Amino acid sequence: MNLSEALMAGGIKELSSSEKYGAINELIELADQKGLLNDKAKFKEAVVNRERQQSTGLENGVAVPHALSEGVREVFACLGISKDGVEFQTLDGKPAKLIFLIGAPPAMNTDYLSVLSKVARMFIRPEMRRKVLEAPSPEDVMRIIKEEELRMSGGVLFR
């Protein structure tokens, strides 16, 4: 599964919270509004439990809170963008500016792992992070991500 497909389901928003769990809650609300959750409380519990085990803050301003949960209907990703950053206990200690919430039901583990790996591979590139942070709209973010998927696939998009 491509990241753009998962984001089409979940959506992209500018975050208002500057706190880790506040940002996660905003993204869970977005997923719930999109009809992606059949049990919001169960999914939230899974994400929070995963986060308490080990922070999903990566490096270079990226965090990827995620969970497999029976509370989720289908694989999705929601992207929260924070221009000022959110303290996320990242590996390099820098605030997270791009926060990808990823969820899936347990039966869709393969697609879930595919989306997680695509976020990691795509956003390791400084230019990609910069482009997304500078994008003026969610539509522009989607275009940038689709272009990167095409580049990474050698011009052919595979599921």
- Cα 150 off chain centre by: 19
Domain limits for position 68: 3-152
Whether 66 is a known active-site residue: answer yes
| Least confident window among 19-23, 74-78, 88-92, 141-145 | 88-92
Question: Domain for residue 158, yes or no?
Answer: no
Q: Give the pTM.
A: 0.94
pLDDT of residue 10: 85
Candidates 66, 73, 97, 118; catalytic one: 66
Per-residue pLDDT at 152 exceeds 90: no
CATH code at position 53: 3.40.930.10
Q: Is 57 helix (H, G, I), strand (E, B) or coil?
A: strand
Question: Domain for residue 159, yes or no?
Answer: no
Count of structural domains within the chain: 1
Question: Domain for residue 120, yes or no?
Answer: yes
